[in-house]
């Protein structure tokens, strides 16, 4: 008879919460009628890989660690994985590789250092963190006080529940190094032009597509405000309307704002289009001073790229070795 997995209420105890650590699943969808935004992982690529390496369901809840500084004490025998930003992970003082599964046992100390490249890292546990969903999702949106543990970012002394697997996997899994992303300080964002694009003259559109912008000090999970060549719209008063992920809003000062996962659901500034989601993953790994430029892409090309990316994700080779 096989053993049942056992739910451990304090599978991980938070010794230090780090700069900003959030419980995230894939996001909260279909709740815009209440004014609730999507939330979800800022870098979906790294998030899905953390769950994939552990054979978790894709939507399983993981920790989004911003920059680092998190320390957890394990009260469980299980497996974990860290993907995304290059944050050094030490288990009981010993450095462990990212993009790879690791065994943990009761009493282990998991120490997450500070990012050497990138900003957002994802720590997943076998089976996912077991936190009650609110409005269909665990994703924490601090601005809305929704999701996570009581709508808050992870706090010191929080207890994170998880299942103790009935048996440990026989192999460790690892994403081949050549397939791990390099996070750079120079990103090219493909944009599907749309919304009020016609209210920007051809000259203004060219300015937008040929200039280089810098990420300002105002960047977070809601949006990235850029600095550079201002562009202007002929749009006058506008009624508030629904905002898609990645929408590039141009306020009266002409400096673009890219709206991210925790964006408000509706807004009234003109928008020139929306950044392609696969490129938002790269932007989410960048902070102040990053150089950003734009390139137009059609909806059909974006569609094609999404399907190719999904196929590559499914086909990617995972290295399995004995522990």
Partner 1 sequence: MSQFNVKITTASENSLILYFGESEGRVVSDDISQQIQIVKQLIELEFQTAIIELIPSYASLLVTFDPFLLDHFKIRHFVTQAVLPNANHSSDATLSEKVVELPVYYGEEVGLDLSRIAECAKLTVEQVIAKHQAQDYRVFAIGFAPGFGYLGQVDEQIATPRLATPRSAVPKGAVAIADQQTAIYPAQSPGGWNIIGRCPIDMFTPEQQQVMPFDVGDIVRFKKIDKQTFISMGGQL
> Is 283 an interacting residue with respect to partner 1 (CB under 8 A)?
no
Q: Which is nearer to partner 1, 92 or 240 (CB)?
A: 240
Site string (105-144) toward partner 1, x via CB under 8 A: -----------------------------xx-------xx
Distances (CA, A) of 296 to 188, 206, 254: 10, 10, 19
182-201 residues in contact with partner 1 (CB under 8 A) are 192-195
Which of 265, 291, 293, 313 touches partner 1 (CB under 8 A)? 265
Neighbours of 124 (CB within 10 A): 26
Least spacing, CB of residue 306 vs partner 1, in Å? 5
Comparing CA positions, the residue from 230, 212, 210, 219 lying closest to residue 283 is: 219
Neighbours of 114 (CB within 10 A): 13
> Is 150 an interacting residue with respect to partner 1 (CB under 8 A)?
no
Least spacing, CB of residue 186 vs partner 1, in Å? 22
Residues 252 and 269: their CA atoms lie apart, in Å, by 8
Phi, psi of 290 (to 5 degrees): -60, 140
3-state class (DSSP) for residue 322: strand
> Is 290 an interacting residue with respect to partner 1 (CB under 8 A)?
no
Which of 19, 131, 244, 296 touches partner 1 (CB under 8 A)? 244
> Is 87 an interacting residue with respect to partner 1 (CB under 8 A)?
no
- Sheet of strand 101-104, all strands in order from the earlier edge strand to the far edge: 20-24, 62-66, 120-125, 78-84, 101-104
> Is 245 an interacting residue with respect to partner 1 (CB under 8 A)?
yes
> Is 243 an interacting residue with respect to partner 1 (CB under 8 A)?
yes
Least spacing, CB of residue 242 vs partner 1, in Å? 3
Least spacing, CB of residue 32 vs partner 1, in Å? 5
3-state class (DSSP) for residue 269: coil
Host H or E run for residue 302: helix 299-315
> Is 101 an interacting residue with respect to partner 1 (CB under 8 A)?
no
Q: Spell out a b/e string for 87-98, using b for 16 or more CB atoms within 10 Å of the CB, else e.
A: bbbebeeeebeb
The number of residues that bind partner 1 (CB under 8 A) is 43
Site residues (vs partner 1, CB under 8 A): 29-30, 32-36, 38, 134-135, 143-146, 192-195, 238-247, 264-267, 271, 273-274, 276-277, 299, 302-303, 306-307, 310
């Amino acid at each position: 008879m096989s053993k049942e997995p056992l739910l451990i209420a304090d599978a991980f105890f938070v010794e230090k919460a780090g700069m900003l650590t959030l419980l995230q699943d894939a996001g909260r969808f279909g709740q815009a009628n209440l004014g609730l935004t999507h939330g979800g992982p800022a870098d979906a690529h790294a998030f899905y890989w953390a769950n994939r390496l552990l054979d978790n369901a894709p939507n399983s809840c993981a920790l989004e660690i911003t920059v680092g500084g998190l320390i957890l004490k394990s009260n469980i025998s299980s497996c974990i994985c860290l993907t995304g930003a290059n944050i050094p992970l030490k288990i009981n003082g010993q450095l462990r590789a990212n993009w790879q599964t690791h065994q943990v046992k009761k009493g282990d100390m998991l120490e997450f250092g500070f990012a050497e490249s990138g900003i957002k890292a994802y720590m997943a546990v076998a089976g996912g963190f077991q936190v009650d969903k609110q409005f269909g999702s665990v994703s924490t949106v601090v601005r809305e006080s929704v999701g996570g543990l009581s709508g808050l970012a992870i706090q010191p002394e929080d207890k994170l529940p998880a299942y103790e697997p009935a048996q440990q996997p026989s192999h460790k899994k690892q994403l081949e190094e050549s397939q791990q992303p390099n996070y750079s300080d120079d990103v090219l964002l493909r944009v599907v032009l749309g919304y009020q694009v016609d209210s920007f003259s051809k000259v203004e559109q060219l300015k937008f597509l040929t200039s280089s912008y810098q990420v300002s000090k105002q960047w977070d999970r809601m949006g990235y405000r850029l600095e550079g060549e201002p562009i202007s719209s002929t749009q006058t008063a506008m009624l508030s309307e629904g905002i898609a992920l990645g929408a590039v809003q141009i306020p009266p000062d002409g400096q673009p704002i890219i709206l991210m996962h925790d964006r408000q659901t509706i807004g009234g500034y003109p928008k020139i289009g929306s950044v392609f989601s696969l490129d938002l993953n790269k932007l989410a790994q960048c902070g102040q001073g990053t150089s950003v430029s734009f390139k137009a892409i059609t909806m059909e090309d974006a569609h094609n790229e999404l399907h190719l990316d999904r196929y590559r994700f499914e086909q990617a080779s995972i290295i399995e070795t004995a522990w």
